[in-house]
Amino acid sequence: MNIILLGPPGAGKGTQAQRLVAERGMVQLSTGDMLRAAVAAGTPVGQRAKAIMDAGQLVPDDVVIGIISDRLDQPDLAKGAIFDGFPRTTAQAEALDRLLADKGLRLSAVIALTVDEEALVDRITGRFSCATCGEGYHDRYKLPKQDGVCDACGGATFKRRPDDNVETVRARLAEYHAKTAPIADYYGQRSMLHSVDGMADIDAVYCQIVAILDESVADAE
């Protein structure tokens, strides 16, 4: 089973992907992680990517597809892949379709996490984490039980991502709508797109996703 999770920055895609990895045995495929791994391994496509990045250029789609192709051949993907950060454009979606078809694979579902963007801005700009263990917190929704002390490790130092400010978040949302949101139309025309309420609590969102996956399995049988 191979799926794509769509949604703007901060919609919760990473959180849901991690749970699918833990509970369903799927593998989260992050293009950034795969690029770094290919470069470190010195694969032919990784060497090409390194040369492009060392020159300060963006890695083109065909190189990214090559890295994904190599990754899909590895045995740990027997229970399926969750595509994270790819595709970002309709052209990439078309290239992914061709790649999967060439390998005798297919997408089971494309799941879009729909969100209220004003609430999303609040969600992102209010988040911070423990600098020691990475435990996540929020100014409004999840403060440490003891002020200034991490619930998980007892650390006393916290940090915020420098790009978690209103201006940057709104710019990222605008870029998402301009480049990535049209992918929803692409998959919608193929009756592959499913929407879930990304503003629900984490467990409720996960239950919606699992129901879609189970339905997709039943339809394929």
Contact 122, 140 (CB under 8 A): yes
| 54 inside domain | no
| 121 inside domain | no
| 89 inside domain | yes
3-state secondary structure of 104: coil
- 41, 63, 141, 174 from 58: Cα distances, Å: 20, 10, 37, 20
3-state secondary structure of 110: strand
pLDDT string in tens for the chain (221-residue length) = 899 999 888 888 888 998 999 999 999 998 888 888 888 988 888 898 889 888 888 888 998 999 899 899 999 998 899 998 789 889 999 999 999 999 999 999 999 999 888 888 988 899 999 999 999 899 988 999 999 999 999 999 999 998 899 999 999 889 888 888 889 999 999 999 999 999 898 899 999 999 999 988 767 66
Q: Which residues are catalytic?
A: 13, 88, 127, 160, 172
* Structure-block tokens of residue 137: 């917190």
Contact 113, 196 (CB under 8 A): yes
User: Is 207 annotated as ligand-binding?
Assistant: no
| 202 inside domain | yes
Q: State the CATH number of the domain containing residue 6.
A: 3.40.50.300
Number of domains, the chain: 1
| 88 inside domain | yes
User: Is 41 annotated as ligand-binding?
Assistant: no
Nearest to 188 by CA among 117, 114, 119, 121: 114
3-state secondary structure of 9: coil
User: Is 11 annotated as ligand-binding?
Assistant: yes
